[in-house]
Amino acid sequence: MSALEIVRIPALRDNYLWLAHDTATKATAVVDPAEAEPVLAALGARGWRLTHILNTHHHPDHVGGNTALKNATGCTIVGPRADAARIPGIDVQVGEGDTYRFGDAEAQVFDVPGHTRGHIAYWFPESRALFCGDTIFALGCGRLFEGTPAQMWASISKLRRLPPETRVFCAHEYTQSNARFALSVEPTNAALQARARAIDEMRARGEATVPSTLGEEIATNPFLRADRPEFLAAAGLEGLDPVAAFGEVRRRKDNF
Ligand code: ZN
Ligand code: FE
């Protein structure tokens, strides 16, 4: 097994696509290609050949480039078994407990329903890399389009158990507005205050704020903190169980 070289590709308005390249075998995957052109340009600039697409869920800003990339490269498309009918061109269906290997890299797959009912995440332990689509964002989480607060809390809790040094490669640059919301919920969190300042500085310099680490998210992301007494106290949610607290924080964000 070997560590992946991971490249960020901005696309559409605020999406990030991720190229994952295994230097030993030259296998290259793209995670959630919103569109084909920037992927082909990034591959061409590095002399890499696309061998795989890894999809986390069916939304157009995550699968929009599937067909064009498969036609251009003959790559293998991997996606959620639970949502296979909504993943264009899917070749390999994966779900909870599966491992998937491309090149020398091996991913463990988690079912993480909530944002969509068939959402999955790919964890590459050797690379300390988690590709979680629209489940956990830097300082946020995906909207509950097809799932319940109980499902999303269970999904996030599952990912929260991974090592804190895990890098969280989410699919959108929403961090600065997420930080404003997070501060409105837990204004007393010193780590969050410091992170929000750092994010403002990074964005002012035009820098990306993704990936973060799981440890940073555990310390500062309101959607990972719905079972922490200090969070519940700051948010005025004392006495609520984690699912109810998570659901209330998600409702506040929807109306923020
Ligand atoms: Zn989505
Ligand atoms: Fe998305």
pLDDT at 59: 98
3-state secondary structure of 9: strand
Q: What is the chain's mean pLDDT, rounded? A: 97
- Determine contact, residues 141/135, Cβ cutoff 8 Å: yes
Low-confidence ranges of the chain (pLDDT < 70): 1-2
pLDDT at 1: 56
pTM of the model: 0.98
The reply to whether 62 belongs to the active site is yes
pLDDT at 204: 98
The reply to whether 83 belongs to the active site is no
pLDDT tens column, 119-171: 999 999 999 999 999 999 999 999 999 999 999 999 999 999 999 999 999 99
Q: In what order do the strands lie in the sheet with 15-21?
A: 5-11, 15-21, 28-31, 52-54, 76-80, 92-94
How many whole angstroms from 134 Cα to the centroid of ligand 2?
6
How many whole angstroms from 188 Cα to the centroid of ligand 1?
31
Taking the C-alpha atoms of residue 63 and residue 113, their distance in angstroms, rounded to an integer, is 17
Label the pairing between strands 105-111 and 99-102.
antiparallel
Q: Which of 113, 112, 65 is nearest to 87 (CA)?
A: 65
Cα 83 to chain centroid, rounded: 17
CATH number for 238: 3.60.15.10
Range of the domain at 137: 4-254
pLDDT at 6: 98
Query: Under 8 Å CB-to-CB from 36, ≥6 apart: which residues?
Result: 65, 68, 69, 72
How many whole angstroms from 229 Cα to the centroid of ligand 1?
30
pLDDT at 163: 98
Encoding tokens for residue 116?
């969509």
- Total domains in the fold of the chain: 1
3-state secondary structure of 122: strand
- Determine contact, residues 103/24, Cβ cutoff 8 Å: yes
Q: Looking at 21, 52, 58, 115, which residue is catalytic?
A: 115
The reply to whether 119 belongs to the active site is no
How many whole angstroms from 62 Cα to the centroid of ligand 2?
6
